[in-house]
Chain A
Amino acid sequence: MSVQYRAVNWTRHKVVYDLVLAGACVAFVGVFMVMSMVVHPPPNEVSPPILVMRALGTLAIVLLHVVLAIGPLARLWPRTTFLLANRRHLGVATFLVAGLHAFVVYGFYGGFGVENPVLAVLVRPDGSVGFEFVGFLALLVLLVMAATSHDFWLALLGHGVWKAMHMAVYVAYALVVAHVVFGVLRSEKSLVFPLLLLGGALVLGGLHLVAGGREWRRDAASSDESEDGWIDVGDPHEIPDKRARVVCLGSGNRVAVFRDGDRLSALSNVCAHQGGPLGEGEILDGCATCPWHGYQYHTENGQSPPPYTEKIPTYELRVRGGRVEVNPRPNEPGTPTTPVSITEGGAS
């Protein structure tokens, strides 16, 4: 949450995260090169520039898999939600590693300007293109996402457009897979790399399917309507203190019903920052706190505590016959509501 834009809002946690990430990347490249030298001893050794090229390319693919796995992992195992907080740093790191890989490729095959890089790497003498061009396109997509990853772009475009644009990471993934399949694997005799790539794609696909299926079932199970259109949320005592229950409205919008002691309040489940699932967070310092980046909102009015200015829609609640119900019509963002008591309306 920032009221003044900085290049990076460093915190101790982010500095530690980035140092660990950088260290892990250096270690990966080192281990990859040593193992390659062991597997390919002289006279079949691979030249150092090609080893670096392969190590960086492989590292970029591994990082891309991790970036894509974090979302569904956090949905399936809330304990891993902390990984989401710095996902953008990981995404930018993926672009930097992929860019370094491209730079080494250009340096090796294009002599850093001795030859035209376009003709030396991207386009064959007969004018056709190969896997290198596909890799170039993947790098362009990663560049677009890294260049627009700052909160300024999120605020300028709105999180709907920004998020849709950043879904292009799946296009980048498809291009990277094509780049590897049509390039590296064509000359690779060992089955290790093809199996690793296939395994990675299957794990990613499986995680997305399972997480999506669980969300779909949860939404389908939470749309019981009363005669006047209010949506049943359930027994308020079953909502853990300082946490929320998320219900899906007929419109497809989700509402997070928070319990703070014996008081209940309802907010949009969509955080105003990046559209994070607010209802998967908890109440900290009296505010509903998004699990993704810590954005906070007062539960009674959906407003961020000053000096922050974010607002999200609130919803009216009532308790009838021991069940809490929510009015599916949202209030304007930041509209105050009166919290209801879980003991109202003859609660059990």
Chain B
Amino acid sequence: MAIAVIAIVFGYAGLGLLVAIPMCLVGLGRLDPAAAAGTWGFRVLSIPGVMVLWPVVLGRWLKRGKA
């Protein structure tokens, strides 16, 4: 059970890292215009947040893409 929880946590974070790279390069600016002009420090600092909230962030990014 505990190993399953740990595997889920690390698996979720791993997928989040995959999403975080394109998101921090181009995606953040699509979600919030103020982020388009964000510094590189801000983009790097956003990576852990994207890893945590990647389903929300990815969902909104895709939604904006369709709109």
Contacts and interface: CB of A to CB of B under 8 A. Distances in A.
Interface of A: 2-8, 118, 122-123, 127-129, 133, 136, 140, 143-144, 146-148, 150, 152-153, 155-157
B2 A4 contact: no
A327 to B, nearest CB: 34
B32 A127 contact: no
A136 B49 CA distance: 18
Given A4-B34, A148-B52, A155-B32, A118 B3 contact: yes
B2 A122 contact: yes
B39 to A, nearest CB: 5
B2 A148 contact: no
A156 B31 contact: yes
Given A6-B42, A118-B3, A147 B52 contact: yes
Given A5-B38, A156-B32, A150 B45 contact: yes
Contacts of A6: 38-39, 41-42
Nearest to B28: A152
B62 interface: no
A147 B49 CA distance: 4
A147 to B, nearest CB: 4
Contacts of A140: 9
Point out which of A7, A127, A129 has the most chain B C-beta atoms below 10 A from its C-beta.
A7
Nearest to B7: A118
B39 A153 contact: no
B52 A5 contact: no
B6 interface: yes
A150 B41 contact: no
Contacts of A155: 32, 34
A7 B6 contact: no
B34 A143 contact: no
A133 B52 contact: no
Interface string B23-67: 000001001101101110110111011011100110010000000
Nearest to B41: A7
A157 B52 CA distance: 13
Contacts of B3: 118, 123, 127
Contact of B2 (A5, A7, A127, A143): A127
A5 B34 contact: yes
Interface string B1-25: 1110010010000000000000000
B48 A5 contact: no
A150 B46 contact: yes
Contacts of B56: 157
Given A122-B6, A143-B52, A152-B42, 11 more contacts: A4-B38, A4-B39, A5-B37, A6-B38, A123-B6, A143-B48, A148-B53, A150-B45, A152-B34, A156-B57, A156-B60
